[in-house]
Structure 1
Amino acid sequence: MTNSAAITAYWDAAADAFDEAPDHGLTTAHTRAAWASRLASWLPATPASVLDVGCGTGSLSRLVAEAGHQVTGVDLAPKMVEQAQGKLRAAGLEGRFLIGDAADPPTGDERYDVLLSRHLVWTLPDPQAALHQWTVRLRPDGLLILVEGRWREAGQSGVPYVAGAETLPWHGGVTAEELTAAVRPLVTDVRVEALSDDPDLWGGPVADERYALIARV
């Protein structure tokens, strides 16, 4: 099993180069536009409060803020949070970022209209407990948006993930079928949107399973 110190160290070390991946940094116009379009189709049409768990360097948080929503990002790695803060500040956008465990966000009794997570659940020692924690942080009729997938390589840039990662329940990702089964008891409605067939999202074609699960609580 993994430990939080090792996980923090791994993602801190990945922070400087994290945005080099097209779907992480969203530095090209067509990739940014593709993600902005998807978010617009998932998020409420009116301004909403959005909790971005495992926010990384804040690329999705920035798009959420650009769309007029109030965003709070949470990440375990201080260097990721530092990058996210700088990214929104440089764009003249407001956002709040917290250092903490995305599986149990340090947000107290606050409730949100939307909880957003991308490519996080494979890193969690107890994803079912995290899903419960996420749903209880949503207001009634709130949205849970999970962008996930099942891929062959979990590490960043070929660097092996932390020791014990092979024991994680969803190491290497999770299929839409498995995640839907885990989420369904916690929500009133759930749907899955396939994302593998849109190369603009990833900076090129992908052969593995990638999708968004959108659920209402």
Structure 2
Amino acid sequence: MPDSPADVLDLGCGTGSLSLVLAEQGHRPVGVDLAPLMVEQAQRKLTEAGFDAVMMVGDASDPPARAGVSFDVILSRHLLWTLPDPREALRRWIGLLRPGGRLVLVEGRWASAEPGEDQPYEVESEAMPWMGGVEAERLARVLRPLVRTLRVEPLRDAALWGRPIQDERYAVVAFA
């Protein structure tokens, strides 16, 4: 994250856990999530902690105009795989960044494509092309033409997830 205060759009904010961390660090988060009950929890969580952050119901792939049109950071965690057109969403998000702004994506590839393995998700469904997650290199290939620079940071430390992991988890930080 940049130095605070920064205007941060937390897409797929869920119950506001990351928005709360951002607010505690002096940033100005705006959260968007499709689930009204999660947005209610997020708003309550931030209000009870003494922050006047905006949390709203909306489509994270195409954030509502009332969320704002210009941000220092756009943050998304484990959201891309749920979107019907993740490439278009990424283009929209980058368009909301101020010059020099950054896109921070915490993602991974959870479903195995190996035949015969137990697969909790249908891999590569037509409705959700990145179902089960997206490999870091694939995401980087999609982003490179859209951004000035990017880096991929593996997130393998079991302490981040509460247990050892066997799948691919990472953060991409891309600069507009």
Taking structure 1 as the reference length, what is the TM-score of the superposition? Answer: 0.73
**Higher strand fraction (1 or 2):** 2
Runs of 4+ in 1 over 6 A off after TM superposition: none
Counterpart amino acid of residue 48 in structure 1 = A
Q: Which residue pairs with 2:38 in the alignment?
A: 80
Alpha-carbon distance in 2 for matches of 1:82, 1:49 = 21
Alpha-carbon distance in 1 for matches of 2:53, 2:65 = 14
Deviation per residue, 1:37-76 (Å, 9 max, x gap): xxxxxx0123100000010111001000000000000001
- Is 1:136 equivalent to 2:95 in the alignment? yes
**Higher helix fraction (1 or 2):** 1
Matching residue within 67, 71, 79 for 1:120:
79
Q: Which residue pairs with 2:152 in the alignment?
A: 192
Alpha-carbon distance in 2 for matches of 1:172, 1:113 = 29
- Is 1:99 equivalent to 2:57 in the alignment? yes
Aligned pairs (5 A) from 1:8-47 = 43-47=1-5
Q: Which residue pairs with 2:130 in the alignment?
A: 170
- Is 1:50 equivalent to 2:1 in the alignment? no
SS of residue in 1 equivalent to 2:8: strand
Alpha-carbon distance in 2 for matches of 1:146, 1:111 = 18
Alpha-carbon distance in 1 for matches of 2:139, 2:23 = 27
- Is 1:180 equivalent to 2:140 in the alignment? yes
Q: Which residue pairs with 1:62 in the alignment?
A: 20
- Is the Cα–Cα contact under 8 Å of residues 107 and 134 in structure 2 kept in the other structure? yes
SS of residue in 2 equivalent to 1:177: helix
Alpha-carbon distance in 1 for matches of 2:4, 2:41 = 27
Q: Percent of pairs identical after alignment?
A: 58
Count residues with an aligned counterpart: 167
Counterpart amino acid of residue 180 in structure 1 = A
Alpha-carbon distance in 2 for matches of 1:146, 1:107 = 21
Deviation per residue, 1:136-156 (Å, 9 max, x gap): 011000000000000029xxx
Q: Where in structure 2 are there 5+ consecutive unaligned residues?
A: 113-119
SS of residue in 2 equivalent to 1:105: coil
Counterpart amino acid of residue 101 in structure 1 = D
- Is the Cα–Cα contact under 8 Å of residues 4 and 25 in structure 2 kept in the other structure? no
- Cα RMSD after superposing both structures: 1.9
- Is the Cα–Cα contact under 8 Å of residues 76 and 104 in structure 2 kept in the other structure? yes
Q: Which residue pairs with 1:21 in the alignment?
A: none
Counterpart amino acid of residue 93 in structure 2 = W
Counterpart amino acid of residue 63 in structure 2 = P
Alpha-carbon distance in 2 for matches of 1:171, 1:194 = 20
